[in-house]
Structure 1
Amino acid sequence: MTSKTGPASPPPSQKLMKLAVAGAAILAVAGAGAFYFASKNMKSGATDNAVVVTIKDGTCDPNAITVPAGRSTFKIVNNSDRALEWEILDGVMVLEERENILPGFTQTMQAKLKAGDYEITCGLLSSPRGTLRVTPSAESEAEAARPPLVSFIGALAEFQVFLVTQATSLVKTTAALDAAIQVGDLEKARELYQKARVPYKQIEPMADMFADLHNAIDPIADYLEKREQDPAFTGFHRIEYGLYASKSVDGLAQVSAKLVADVTALKDRIRGLRIPPEQIAKGAARLIGSIADTKIVNGEDHYSKTDLVDFEANLVGTSRMMTLLKPVAVRAAPAVVSDIEMRLNDASTVLTSLKGQEGYPAYDKVSKESRATLAQKMKALADAIGKLNAAVGLE
């Protein structure tokens, strides 16, 4: 009787070979998919989790941004044909900014944001604004649960007095400048112009938090569509343009009267300003960093050439802010405080070395080498101040 059998089974070695080939194919497909998605993420900038914002023709792309609360990184790409600044605004308050982003260039900015809805600027001051929504996160919840830092109460109270005192001086000196302009006294107005500007520069880290007033008191023609002929060109630099470029007070009476009203409004806001302790060092670091990165290179006082006087006032105000924080900060971070004091001294020494018997020279007479040295010292100071909040537990 003949037995019936099926086809012969392949040897075990052939089965293993087929499984190995199938597994290799699956891995190849998975690898290709992973490479595809990784390459897409790389192109979009996802490798560093930065939010890329491209500005062109007065618009932001994207125009509506959502990020989690805490630290976020933004890359601002200027695809327009004008230098621009990019700001994050909470109402009229400037939270973070990057200035003088040149056409075709990119600047990176980090911001620590609380949950809420904010606005972003998109190039020129007259451009429509975009939106930035910050959603709650574990980091923001931990921040909200942080106990109050009562040890900073004294420093904050003294800082408030300093701000109000300087704001009052600002109103007084600006009113004197306005009086000279109203009677047509060009020489007297020139004499009083810088005296009026100094107190503003001393409190600039807090004053420029109010975007509407800052853009009225101290706008630069470079950031306005029609430059010096733009209706939004008001405040100190518009008066400076008349006194030093046009060499006349013609047309300045209305400008100076409005400036008095604007600085008075600033004084009133400062009186009611509640300043979180971390804002002191944060504001100082932002201002000094801006001086190092853009203001020293390009200058701001294009007509009077008195930029060095501005820088001196900025350093005086910054030194005052650090002195107020020192009694609390030195216990928690003595090395950081010591470094800040050293960097302040370095920057002040370099700046003072430029002063002659008749005061500071016109800024266009300052050499590239001197500007580079001053920028280096200011950058080191900004970096040192930038470490303070974390060192004393404010971040």
Structure 2
Amino acid sequence: MTSADAGAGRGAHAVAPDGPRHTTVQVAAGGCGHGWTHPVAGRQVFDLHNTSGTPAEVRLTDPRTGAVYGEVEGLGPGTTRPLRATLGNGTYAFTCLPADADAVTGPTVRISGDNSVRSGPAAVPVTQQELIPPTLAYQQWIQTRTVELARRTDVLRAAVDRADLAAARAAWLPAHLVYERMGAAYGTFGDADAEINGTTAGLADGVRDPEFAGFHRVEYGLWHGESASSLRGPADRLAEAVHALRRSWPDQRMDPADIGLRAHEILENTVQFALTGRTDYGSGTDLATARANLDGTRALLGRLRPLLRTRTAGPAGIDTWMNRAQHTLDAFDHDGRWTPLARLTRAQREKVNADLGELVERLADVAALTDVRRTA
């Protein structure tokens, strides 16, 4: 019998066809982490088997610091799911968090004597309290943007009022881009978001629907030959919504638990909507929107960065990919006249999609690192 066969016979270890060592680990209030009796360094898989009668979260942690190397959520009773990790020298323990019961940390396991393997990334979970300062700082940044937004929107409305549609088209994009930089706050804006930046999605009559409002309603009219008189109402309605947002924002409160997720969602929405042309109503400025969304992501990350640095060297490659995406998008800005998506070559379109898509994947790590986790 080989050593691998011997381990399998004890029900603790086995070497699967895919290469990594597998260890079956028990998940239960009275047996969290039991089964990991022969720790080794290297890439490996823990087959977490829930022997209890309730769902549970399971984390592989450093018991000294609380840093998490991996986790499985929603492990149902009687089910088994894998947790993959690369472990070097150090101390480890499984923490089981059954639904409606206290957290239980299993026995500490030590790996030593193998300096050839470095442990995979781990991070100490953040608390709601730690997320409050960056959230407040970001809220203040948004407050400043609302003042700028109101000022630029007033310029747009004034141009429409005096029937200078060329000036209105020139004023539309600078005003719209201010709003597009504020993406992490959209959820807090409530109904104001639809009034300021709504689309025709879900509207029975499309661009003719009376509920179609905001920047995109004005955009449609400016680039589809509508008269100044027909645009005064939409421009007034837009400006009123913007000023109402500016007045109400100091009384709003963003949820600190959501702020890391928003850092990922801004550009996720960019890829889903702007880069597919779904939010273009005639101006051909979706690439400018993407660039503004990138600015908004930078603004939020800047406020989260001190918190991230205390837990990790930083999600790998984010700054590199942020700069790469910015360089790619800036190539389509010709003194404020942006290349429309439809005029990109296939190679250009593929590069834009690849750079923004990769950045979105990297930003998912920020959402994971700032996810407020249950601790007891």
TM-score by length of 1: 0.59
Match of 1:306 among 285, 294, 297: 285
1:199-238 paired onto structure 2 within 5 Å: 199-238=178-217
Contact 1:200 1:207 in 2 (8 A): no
Q: Is the 8 A contact 1:178 1:257 kept in 2?
A: yes
CA positional deviation for 1:195: 1.4
Residue of structure 1 in register with 2:358 after alignment: 380
3-state SS, counterpart of residue 227 of structure 2 = coil
Indicate the SS of the match to 1:300.
Answer: coil
Question: What amino acid sits opposite 1:240 in the alignment?
Answer: E
How many angstroms does 1:280 deviate by?
2.2
Q: CA deviation at 1:393?
A: 5.4
Structure 2 counterpart SS, 1:394: coil
Instruction: Give the corresponding residue for 1:290.
Output: 269
TM alignment of 1:43-54, pairs within 5 A: none
Q: Does 1:350 align with 2:315?
A: no
Moved over 6 A (4+): 139-142
Q: Is the 8 A contact 2:308 2:314 kept in 1?
A: no
Of 313, 317, 320, which aligns to 1:334? Answer: 313
Matching residue of 1:370: 348
Q: Partners of 1:139 and 1:384 in 2: how far apart?
A: 33
What does 1:252-291 align with in structure 2 at a 5 Å threshold? 252-291=231-270
Q: State the one-letter code of the partner of 1:354.
A: F
Query: 1:268 offset after TM fit, Å?
Result: 3.2
TM-aligned CA distance change 1:163 to 1:358, over 3 Å: closer
Q: Does 1:170 align with 2:131?
A: no
Query: Is contact 1:235–1:258 with CA below 8 Å preserved after alignment?
Result: yes
Paired letter, 1:361: T
For residue 310 of structure 2, give the secondary structure of its aligned residue in structure 1: helix
Q: Is the 8 A contact 2:273 2:279 kept in 1?
A: no
* 2:99 maps to which of 127, 134, 138: 138
For residue 209 of structure 1, report the CA deviation from its aligned partner.
4.3
Q: What is the aligned partner in structure 1 of residue 297 from structure 2?
A: 318
- Check whether the contact 1:207–1:266 (CA below 8 A) recurs between aligned residues: no
Give the number of the structure whose residues are more often helix, by fraction: 1
Structure 2 counterpart of 1:179, one-letter code: A
Task: Give per-residue Cα distances to partners, 1:86-136, cap 9 Å, x unaligned.
Answer: xxxxxxxxxxxxxxxxxxxxxxxxxx9xxxxxxxxxxxxxxxxxxxxxxxx
Say which one has the larger Rg.
1
Deviation at 1:184, TM superposition (A): 1.1
| Structure 2 CA distance for partners of 1:312 and 1:393, relative to 1, 3 Å | closer
Matching of residues 53-92 of structure 1 within 5 Å: none
Structure 2: segments with no counterpart, 5+ residues: 1-54, 58-73, 75-97, 104-124
Match of 2:40 in 1: none
List per-residue Cα deviations over 1:226-254 (Å, max 9, x = no partner).
11111111111111111111153231111
Residue pair 1:213, 1:262 contacting (<8 A) in 2 also: yes
Shift of 1:201: 0.3
Aligned mates of 1:253, 1:356 — CA distance in 2:
30
Report the 3-state secondary structure (helix = DSSP H, G, I; strand = E; otherwise coil) of the residue aligned with 1:196: helix
Indicate the SS of the match to 2:198.
coil
1:174 maps to a residue whose letter is T
CA distance in 2, matches of 1:389, 1:347: 19
Equivalent residues of 1:216, 1:234 under 8 A apart:
yes
Aligned partner letter, 2:195: A
Q: Which letter maps to 2:352?
A: L
Measured after TM superposition, the shift of residue 259 of structure 1 is: 0.8
Contact 1:333 1:392 in 2 (8 A): no
Amino acid at match of 1:376: A
1:264 alignment partner AA: H
Change (3 A) 1:140 1:159: farther
Conserved 8 A contact 1:190-1:243: yes
- When the two structures are superposed, what TM-score results if normalisation uses the length of structure 2? 0.62
- More moved, 270-279 vs 168-177: 270-279
State the SS of the aligned residue for 1:245. coil
What whole-Å deviation, never above 9, does each CA across 1:193-240 have from its counterpart, x for those lacking one?
A: 111111100002312543422222122235421111111111111111
Secondary structure of the corresponding residue to residue 260 of structure 1: helix
Residues of 2 paired with 1:334 and 1:139: CA distance?
A: 35
**Closer, same or farther in 2 for the Cα pair 1:139/1:225, shift >3 Å?**
farther
Number of aligned residue pairs: 260
Matched, 1:152 2:131: yes
Identity of aligned residues (%): 24
Distance 1:339 1:138 in 2: 36
* Contact 1:219 1:235 (C-alpha < 8 Å) held by counterparts: yes
Q: CA deviation at 1:299?
A: 4.0
SS in 2 for 1:199: helix
For the structure 1 residues 159 and 309, does the alpha-carbon distance in structure 2 shift closer, same or farther, using more than 3 Å as the test? same
Q: Which residue of 1 aligns with 2:38?
A: none
Check whether the contact 1:239–1:255 (CA below 8 A) recurs between aligned residues. yes
Q: Whole-Å Cα distance in 2 between the matches of residues 359 and 175 of structure 1?
A: 22
Specify the alignment match of 1:123 in structure 2.
Answer: none
Counterparts of 2:187 and 2:256, CA distance in 1: 17
Shift of the 219–169 alpha-carbon distance from structure 1 to 2, 3 Å rule, reads same
